[in-house]
Copies of this chain bind each other. A is one copy, B any other.
Amino acid sequence: MKLLDIAEVAHSTGMAASRLRFYEEKGLIGSIGRRGLKRLFEASVLERLSLIALAQTAGFSLDEIAGMFDETGRPRLDRVQLSAKADDLDQTIRRLGALRDGLRHAAACPAPSHMECPTFRRLLKGAAESRRRRWVEDLG
């Protein structure tokens, strides 16, 4: 099994080395030894980093993500939690869909000012309750 140094991991994931060190410090990934000073990672760290990226996309914080691996480092994803998350995402997706449609409309709308466009105004009403930070946090 090929071992990768931090530069290789950084290069193939596009993540800065500092970030990988930061993740290691947080317990998100583990290096399996050193060559000289340099950390060595198993190739599987790439997969793990993908999983981390995925979880971030889903709105999990790094701390939450850290809790998703068991002691041996294997993911232990709670299936119940997963479907709950999927439901949340569904919500989010629908909100964003409405938003996208609203934006597109606003971009094409002939009203002199967006504020005079009923579609845009309807969109505004919806936005009041559901801001980005809110739904990102709510996912957690």
Q: Enumerate chain A interface residues (CB-CB to B < 8 A).
A: 13-14, 47, 49-51, 53-54, 56-59, 74-75, 77, 79-80, 82-83, 85-86, 89-90, 92-93, 95-97, 99-104, 106-108, 113-115, 121, 123-125, 127-133, 135-136
CB neighbours of A47 from chain B (8 A):
115, 121, 124
> Is there contact, CB below 8 Å, between B107 and A100?
no
Secondary structure call for the A interface:
helix
CB distance from A114 to the nearest CB of B (A): 5
**Complex Cα–Cα for A118 and B139 (A):** 25
CB neighbours of A49 from chain B (8 A):
128
Listed A/B pairs (8) with beta-carbon separation below 8 Å: A50-B127, A53-B128, A54-B99, A57-B127, A77-B114, A83-B103, A83-B104, A83-B107
**Complex Cα–Cα for A133 and B75 (A):** 22
